[in-house]
Structures are given as structure tokens and as C-alpha cells.
Amino acid sequence: MKKVAIIGAGRVGETTAQILAEKELCREIALFDVRKDVPEGVALDILQTAPFFGFDCALEGSNDPRIIRNSELVIVTAGLPRQPGMSRADVLKSNVVVIDEVTDHIMAYAPDAMILIVSNPVDTLTYRVAQRTGWERGRVFGQAGVLDASRMASFLAQETGFSALDITTIVMGGHGDTMVPVTRFCTINGIPISHFLSEERIEAIVDRTRGGGAEILSLRKNSTAYDAPGAAVATMVDAVANNRRRLLSCVAVLEGEYGETDIAMGVPCIIGEKGIDSIVELELNLRERADFLRSAAAVRSEIESLDANQKPHGSLFHRIQANAGT
């Protein structure tokens, strides 16, 4: 890609920018943040690593949203981060206001872009952006399952002693306490993990995966995770930039898949140059289906909790023509 914009130059945004630059997944990275001088400082700091890592990707930061103009992909990491003891739902009320403003900037200055939502609660905010833009669902998606699957794979590697490179995992549902690690499809070089681990140990890893973000927050105390989230975002950007058609679990707006509509949550998706190419529907067993429905109910509750006075304009799947000149 030629240009990628990152909205939010905090730790996740900065880590993402560093990885994108090192991997040269685009020619230009634009960092936008409302904090005075911060995005400029982040861009300059990353630029000065170029001689060490051997890249020549251009980076620029600004407090002016027009910096995102003509971006092909906009990554949204802006919002209130979680503090110890807070759930992702706790930050919804504040972050939906941020997301609405960010979405309007994107519609004005990058109306042809794809949007990748990272801010939490990511399922609800991805749905919010899809509603507010009215864009086709392939262009608006969220990051969650890639990170959750990576966490689960790392826990399995620690537990079994096998290389993380040989471990494949899949996590569906909402990004939080009700996420659904589908252990039946988790393998070590193609062999089901049940061959190596007892059901009790697998359940313990599932529980740890669900609390993976909270565990890091409790240990860091003054920061949420940012290294693994940045790497997860970069993996998704790589799939788009190189049209890899990778099968990744992403937050997508559902149009009847898995029996759900008017909701966004994590499902297996084919990701390529236009964003979400298609959604893969797995045949879930009774327990997996029940867990997925429970997760969907939690996400839908968050969506319905949005203040009636903050209803987004426009209707879902109805294209809104943005005035790129404003």
C-alpha cells in the first residue's frame, strides 16, 4: 500500500507504526493524535530507527486530521485505555464519543479507505463505525481474534514445550470475558491439542486466554498490553497489503452468518487487499454454539446500551458520500 494512517499515537499506535515501518508494508505512515506535538515526536523517534532496521518508509505526525487524507487503510487505536479493575465495557461510554469523531474525520478525509478498529470495546465500536459510515462490511473490521489466538498459542507453547511456530489456534466471539476459544480446531502441527493435554489443562488455558489482557494490565499496573496488539495489527495489515487471503479471526459485521445479524463480533474471515473478502462458517457443536450465543448476547447488550441520543446517522450497509474537501 502507499499510505496507512494510524489514529492514536499511544503505545499501541506507536508499536504498530514501528512494525509497519520495519516491515515496509506501506510507503507512508501518517500518525494523528489530539495531544499537542505527541504524534510528531512519535514519528520522528521511529524515523531515527531506520538506519538500524533498514527501512525508508516515510512517517509524519500531526494534530490536524487532514494528515490522514488519501489513506488506503486507517487504523484506529484512539480512546481511553483500561485501568486496573476496569472491563472493556467500562470504557465504552467515553470511547464511543471518540470513535464518532474519528469516524467523521475518516469519512471527510479518507472516504475510500478501509478501517481497522483496535480501540475497545472493539466489537461494539466496530459495529458503531460500520453504522456511522454505512460502508460495505468488507471495509470496516476489527482486531481481536488475531491477538487472542496468539495469546492462546503462547500459553499452549509454554504448557507443552512445543514451538509456538507449530501451534494453530482459533478464537471467536466477543473480545473479552465471553470470547470463545474453539479448542476443537486448535492443533500442534495438525495434531489436536487434546492429544497432548488433558481436558482440565485445556480449560485452564482457555480461562487464561479470556483474561489475557487483564493479566498483563494487572502485572504492568500502569499500562495495558501494546507489543502483542501491535504485532497482531501488523499481521492484519500484511494480509491486506500483500493480498495474502489469510484466514484470520476478525471482528466483522454479521449478515446472517452463525445465525446473527445487526452485530459485530469475532469470526474466521478471509482477509485480502479489499479487507474482509468473506466469512468462513464453521459447524459448531452444541457447547461451542451455546458459548457463541452467550458471547453474542454480551456484545448485543453493549450495543443496545449506547445512549439513545447518540444514535448514529445513516443506516447500515447504505453508502454515505463523504465530502472529502471539508
| Residues contacting 204, CB < 8 A, separation 6+ | none
- The reported pTM is 0.92
> CATH number of the domain that 116 lies in?
3.40.50.720
Q: Is the pLDDT of residue 30 over 80?
A: yes
249 with 296, same domain: the answer is: yes
Name beta bridge partners: 251. Answer: 142, 266
Structural domain span for residue 232: 145-305
Annotated catalytic, 318? no
Question: Residues of the chain with pLDDT > 70: what percent?
Answer: 91
Q: Quick one: 205 and 261 in the same domain? A: yes
Q: How far is CA 16 from the centre of its chain?
A: 11
CATH number, position 192: 3.90.110.10
Q: Are residues 180 and 246 in the same domain?
A: yes
> Could you tell me if 298 and 157 lie in one domain?
yes
Q: What type of residue is 23?
A: K
Of 143, 176, 209, the last residue of a domain is: 143
Q: pLDDT tens digit string along 39-48?
A: 999 999 999 9
62-103 pLDDT, tens digit each = 999 999 999 999 999 998 876 666 665 677 888 999 999 999
Q: Give yes or no: residues 211 and 134 share one domain.
A: no
Question: Do residue 149 and residue 62 come from a single domain?
Answer: no
- 139 and 155 housed in the same domain: no
Q: Is residue 316 included in any domain, yes or no?
A: no
| Element containing residue 168 per DSSP (H, E) | strand 167-168
Tell whether 61 is covered by a domain. yes
Mark whether 263 and 301 lie in a shared domain.
Answer: yes
Q: Is residue 284 part of a domain?
A: yes
Closest of 87, 268, 272, 64 to residue 180, by C-alpha? 268
- 105, 175, 195, 318: which one is catalytic? 175
- 262/161 same-domain check: yes
Tell whether 323 is covered by a domain. no
Does residue 121 belong to any structural domain of this protein? yes
Please say if the pLDDT value at position 290 is more than 80: yes
